[in-house]
Structure 1
């Protein structure tokens, strides 16, 4: 074989190898990249006890324990870099690819489902109305007419509260006097305790531990503000993120089936929730 032919053959071989390498690199999805780097970056809002909060400089809570259970089984050896961010920046940050996945309690609604990929449910997020214990001016949902009620900006709970207000007004009633929006629910609880609010719209799952921790200060109305809703974790939509979303969703489902989820709920909430194990129900709102 002449040098020219040898060079040509070598060139074709190198081109073929480069093509194979390029195709393999191109086909590597988000989960492959996480495994290769041995690091996953998780976004959390750590001011949402008992799902997550900060204790002694560490993020702890129901979501953290459930995440660790899944990652120890599904991604052993992968280091977790967990970010504590305001809730209002979490979904936009996921969209902008600033981190890999959202492990915090995110209420599933129609708008979010259209844009993001949710796991199966981690807990129920049905919204209740928190009020001051002994406040006799609030005994039914109709009593919210003319009241000042707060919730977290950008949250599913705020959406439920706004929908309820629209329902009141559509029926010819005055509606809620003012809906105040807060960066965190802790600020809303403080304003409620100090009589700057009449109520706070929040997930019932969060309110049970709050009322237990602060006896004689808060209670809830028995009727719920909205329909049954669920919390899930969130990834980006599309083929690149599909396997990562499935990994977390499968892990949550396994935890639901094997009793781990209920044990963690009992630990962090003091009660258990019966949530669907194998699919996220279509959101009502």
Structure 2
């Protein structure tokens, strides 16, 4: 059984090899060739985002881990996965600094991120729902019921972005708007504050909300109306020629897993349900 308890933040530590001048690695072929030579794909994730990735018995497990291991087994046999656990706020800067090969985490694709980074094909639906206490289910049924509420989300997340947009929409419609948007280092903290009554709602992807509610029956409920546009989770790479071949291989593997049913089997295992995601292209983000 997984838990939603916070773990201590593990600092990013760059190896001596990663501190070498850019020209030294650029002369060794592209990233995919170096990964094949080393027989290791180095990724970073935030292992506090169950069921996508979390720590169980000292090991990082979850949907993303299983799906990537399947892709590697098919496309890059013999290449092993090395996973570092970092705070979410350090993932994109760490990728930019070349401290790892790619981000293996549930990262929502949005316009700002897509302008700077390359995304794989989608691996899951990231549409945002609103989590509330079970005893509030009867009084919070739509976004208009969120006027005057304190909402929580993770720092730097698309969910926080969606709450900011919602606040503007509520105010432009003549409402009070959200009383406060409280931002957290991890969602575990937000869930704890929601259960304790310190905040009123949490914006989170529906994919995460379902397993959370199942693990804590009777504690939470979900608002029937979602917020923000349809969106997707994908894995992240640098947007450069060095990463291009790896991006194609991983995306092709995701597409195959989507079409042959492997993705849905893993979704049933980790989420208890399946979700339709495009297998041919990543939709252009609208937010």
Give the structure 2 partner of residue 246 of structure 1: 248
Deviation at 1:199, TM superposition (A): 0.2
1:93 and 2:94 are equivalent in the alignment: yes
Specify which structure has the higher proportion of helix. Answer: 1
Q: Distance in 2 between matches of 1:278 and 1:48?
A: 26
Q: Which residue of 2 aligns with 1:28?
A: 29
| Residue matched to 1:187 | 189
Aligned partner of 2:64 in structure 1 is 63
Does the Cα contact within 8 Å between 2:45 and 2:86 map onto a contact in 1? yes
Q: TM-score normalized by structure 2?
A: 0.89
> Could you tell me which residue of structure 2 aligns to residue 156 of structure 1?
158
Aligned-pair CA distance for 1:40: 1.6
- Who is 2:172 aligned against? 170
Q: Partners in 1 of 2:212 and 2:28 — Cα distance? A: 47
Structure exhibiting the larger radius of gyration computed from Cα positions: 1
1:48-87 equivalence runs, <5 A: 48-87=49-88
Which runs of 5 or more structure 2 residues have no equivalent in the other structure?
1-22
Separation of aligned partners in 1, 2:83 and 2:235: 14
User: How far off its partner does 1:218 sit?
Assistant: 0.2
Q: Which residue of 2 aligns with 1:131?
A: 132
- Partner of 2:123 in structure 1? 122
Which consecutive aligned stretches of 4+ in structure 1 deviate over 6 angstroms post-superposition? none
Q: CA deviation at 1:27?
A: 6.8
Counterpart CA distance in 1 for 2:240 and 2:56 is 36
- Asked if residue 203 in structure 1 is aligned to residue 205 in structure 2, the reply is yes
- 5+ residue gaps, structure 1, are 1-21
| Range moving further from structure 2, 200-209 or 162-171 | 162-171
- State the match for 1:140 in structure 2: 142
> Do the aligned partners of 2:69 and 2:81 also contact (CA within 8 Å) in 1?
no
Matches within 5 A, 1:39-54: 39-54=40-55
| 1:96 CA displacement | 0.7
Give the 3-state SS of the residue equivalent to 2:279 in structure 1: coil
SS in 2 for 1:243: helix
CA displacement at 1:140 relative to structure 2: 2.0
Q: Is 1:280 matched with 2:279?
A: no
Cα shift readout 1:201-231 (whole Å, capped 9, x = no counterpart):
0000000011111111000001101111000
2:16 aligns with none
Alignment match, 1:228: 230
Residue from 260, 267, 270 that aligns with 1:268: 270
Aligned position for 1:12: none
In 2: Cα distance, 1:158 partner to 1:169 partner: 17
Q: Residues of 2 paired with 1:251 and 1:103: CA distance?
A: 14
Q: Helix, strand or coil for the counterpart of 1:114?
A: helix
**Superposition TM-score, scaled by structure 1 size:** 0.90
d(CA) in 2 for partners of 1:242, 1:48: 27
The total of aligned residue pairs comes to: 263
How many angstroms does 1:280 deviate by? 0.6
1:175 is paired with a residue of what secondary structure? coil
Cα separation, 1, equivalents of 2:29 and 2:113: 26
Q: Distance in 2 between matches of 1:260 and 1:38?
A: 24
SS at structure 2 position matched to 1:92: helix
How far the C-alpha of 1:125 sits from its partner, in A, is 0.3
Which residue in 1 is equivalent to 2:106?
105
